Chain A
Amino acid sequence: MTDITTEKARIGAPSAQPFINGFTEEGESLSPLNAAESKSPLAGEAVKRHSHGGGVGVPDSSRAGRLTSYKLADFKALTGMEEDWRFTPLKRLRGLHTEVLNGAAPSVSVTAPDSVKVETVGRDDRRIGSAAIPEDRVSANAWENFAEATVITVPSEVQVEGEVSVLLAGQGTEASAQHIVIVAEKFSKSVVVLDHQGTAVVSENVEILVEDGAQLTVISLQEWNDDAVHASSQQIKLGRDAKFKHIVVSLGGDLVRVTPSARFTAPGAEVELFGLYFADAGQHLEQRLFVDHAVANCKSNVLYKGALQGRNAHTVWVGDVLIRKEAEGTDTYEANRNLVLTDGARADSVPNLEIETGLIAGAGHASATGRFDDQHLFYLMARGIPEDVARRLVVRGFLNEIIQKINVPAIEERLTEAVERELAATNH
């Protein structure tokens, strides 16, 4: 009955690029490429205003070579064959990749202590583009079409009590664009919650700037209605000694695709990227993350956990971690765990680790997708706990590992209840 596969993913480039000097077929040998041309916290930006394939000397197959641009026209129309779209059912994007995104964007209401500055700004605000550059067509489409942006600033050295709560309430099914900027200034400490609810078809760009010595937690909750379609590019730029924790929770929506990218610009910074998703019948929940170790002595830790139940429940997790040549002393680990509760569900999990220097503290990746662990089940049942109760206990336990990391009691409670509802839905 045990059906557990631990996939050791390929180290290196995923696509079928012809042989590249220095890369074996498995991409295991250290890259001889001089990454100076591509060394950049915003990938293409520092190389040139936009780039087609990462600039000089970077193979298209490397994550460093991903096209980034503020202009929609720079991205070709999607076919579904692209590496970063191959798992996404484009037909269900409801025009986010093809239409002009001029529908009403989800309304934004922010609840925050007085010490936090909340502004609504136009497209020409200088902070737009300070932490992000679109990495795919849907994100670029939103960038080209958003009307106004919400900028949340935690001023220098301010320690915010409680959390900054941002409610994004869907306004219907017309394709729309959203833009949020979160700036955690130097030595500030805060927690920001992006709470996505209702019905929307929206492409969203979230720029997150974590300045030197700042500590920021961003919790992105996707508790959409069943008919929502949401693409969210959440890009994080970290200064020296900055600490950032990201928790992505996707429960509701027909199609949700969250693509967090964290980029280090100075040494001593740390990111923790956590995720929890629970897909029911027919739901497509996708998460693709990127950690760009472009400078020395930074740390990253990634853990995403997902549960799936019901026919055609589909989850996708792709974790790209790039350790550039300059990023000596990097310490990184990424893991994805999926628990398949019923037949007919599908979990794709692809950890990619590219390493261009051997002088690192540590680099690891892991992925496991299994049914219930029969050993857990046996242990609990051998203590008199009936199978259905034991299963619930295990699933709760499995997902709780992420919930426990949130450290905001009200949200932990709310998510625990939400998971209970998901479990109750199929009586597990």
Chain B
Amino acid sequence: MSTLEIKDLHVSIDTEQGTKEILKGVSLIIRTGETHAIMGPNGSGKSTLASTIAGHPRYNVTSGTITLDGEDVLAMSVDQRARAGVFLAMQYPVEVPGVSMTNFLRTAKTAIDGEAPKLRTWTKDVKAAMAQLRIDADFTQRNVNEGFSGGEKKRVEILQLELFKPKFAILDETDSGLDVDALKVVSEGVNRAHGEGNMGTLLITHYTRILRYIKPDFVHVFVDGQVVEEGGPELADRLEEEGYDRYATGAGAVTIAAADAAAQA
């Protein structure tokens, strides 16, 4: 049983116009076996939270803490966090030219486990996981994410989730850009990983659609860098009907959207 605890987290980024605060005091506790959905409009800071937990250097934590079973996550480097059991399925997985999937998966697995996986079972595991996610076998020969479609990249993120077996999975808008078939395949993968009982899941999404396939235990609504409402799965249903309009805060949200856009430029 593990606990990922985020306490009063404040995060800012540097832009040409100066420092922008994006997260304005976020607190969350995720335990093994739980699925938390974070929902919110564009620019509310959802993805910033995901990247901050993973340790992306663009985001500066100005105050607050993140701990994993009491260990200070913020003191860890990006790779240490991953080895400690944090996995971020990225919204925009980057292409790494020249590094083959085979080589990449084995190198990462070796780093995370602290020892090289046994070649025979590893190859079998990779093949089986790929088949379940309906990823062509020849992808292993291709370079990491190179020339993959948006849907293929997301499946490959979930492939890694299933192979690396993290303590906590953070899915950053994994559902965006997926058609229904791909969404089902990806959701099944997440459910399989979650179903093993050793993982907590933080699901970040703009849409309620994925929540038909992945059932959250808790739903948190993010607006303007803060959690404005929390509840059970029924909150997602309500959002589906009403949208985010009732949380509209006017100018604040617009500012964040601009800052996000600047950060991604």
| Cβ contacts under 8 Å, B164 to chain A | 383-384
Nearest opposing residue in chain A for B166, CB measure: A384
Instruction: Name which of A169-177, A327-335, A393-401 contacts chain B.
Output: A393-401
CA distance A387 to B82 in the complex (A): 12
Contact with A along B105-142 (1 / 0, CB 8 A): 00110011000000000000000000000000000000
Residue in A closest to B143 when the chains form the complex, CB atoms: A397
A-B residue pairs in contact (CB < 8 Å), sample of 8? A378-B57, A382-B81, A387-B79, A389-B111, A397-B99, A398-B97, A400-B99, A401-B98
Q: Which residues of A contact B (CB under 8 A)?
A: 1, 373-376, 378-387, 389-390, 393-394, 396-401, 404
Q: Is the CB of B96 within 8 A of A384?
A: no
Contact A384–B94 (Cβ < 8 Å): no
Query: What are the residues of chain B within 8 A of A373 when measuring CB–CB?
Result: 94
- Also in contact, A389 and B107, with CB within 8 A (given A383-B112, A396-B99, A397-B97): yes
Residue B77 is within 8 A (CB to CB) of chain A in the complex: yes
Q: How far is the CA of A53 from the CA of B54 in the complex (A)?
A: 60
- B24 interface residue (CB < 8 Å to A): no
Taking CB atoms, residues of chain B closer than 8 Å to A396 are 98-99
Given contacts A379-B90, A394-B96, contact A384 B111 (CB under 8 A): yes
Known: A381-B79, A384-B164, A385-B111. 18 other contacts (CB 8 A): A1-B57, A375-B94, A379-B93, A382-B90, A383-B112, A384-B112, A385-B107, A385-B108, A389-B107, A389-B111, A390-B79, A393-B96, A393-B99, A393-B104, A397-B96, A397-B143, A400-B98, A404-B98
Instruction: Give B60-91 interface residues, CB cut-off 8 Å to A.
Output: 77-79, 81-83, 88, 90
Cα of A149 to Cα of B153 in the assembled complex, Å: 54
> Which residue in chain A gives the minimum CB-CB distance to B145?
A379
Please name all residues of chain B whose beta carbon is closer than 8 Å to the beta carbon of A399 when the two chains form the complex: 98
Residues of A within 8 A of B57 (CB): 1, 374, 378
B161 CB → nearest A CB, Å: 11
Say whether B98 contacts A384, CB under 8 Å.
no
Which of B97, B103, B104, B164 has the most C-beta atoms of chain A within 10 angstroms of its own C-beta? B97
CB distance from B180 to the nearest CB of A (A): 28
Verify if B212 is at the interface (C-beta below 8 Å from A). Answer: no
Q: What distance in Å separates the Cβ of A381 from its nearest Cβ neighbour in chain B?
A: 4
* A-B pairs with lowest CB-CB distance, top 10: A397-B98, A384-B82, A397-B99, A400-B98, A383-B108, A381-B78, A384-B111, A384-B112, A381-B79, A384-B83
| Across-interface contacts of B144 in A (CB, < 8 A) | 379
- A-B pair count, CB < 8 Å, reads 81
B55 at the A interface (CB under 8 A): yes
Contact with A along B195-210 (1 / 0, CB 8 A): 0000000000000000
The distance in angstroms between the C-alpha atoms of A401 and B78, with both chains bound, is: 27
Q: Which of A385, A400, A401 has the most chain B CB atoms closer than 10 A to its own CB? A: A385
Taking CB atoms, residues of chain A closer than 8 Å to B192 are none
Whether B79 lies near A385 (C-beta < 8 A) is yes
A52 to B212, alpha carbons, bound, how many Å?
76
Kindly state whether residue B56 has any CB partner on chain A within 8 Å: yes
A303 CB to nearest B CB, Å: 11
A378 to B96, CA, bound (A): 11
Contact present for A380 and B96 (CB under 8 Å): yes
Q: How far apart are the CA atoms of A397 and B83 in the complex, in Å?
A: 23
> B187 interface residue, CB < 8 Å from A?
no
Q: Is the CB of A381 within 8 A of B96?
A: no
Q: Which residue of A lies closest to B83 (CB)?
A: A384
| CB-based nearest A residue for B113 | A384
Q: Which residue of B lies closest to A383 (CB)?
A: B108
A398 to B208, CA, bound (A): 40
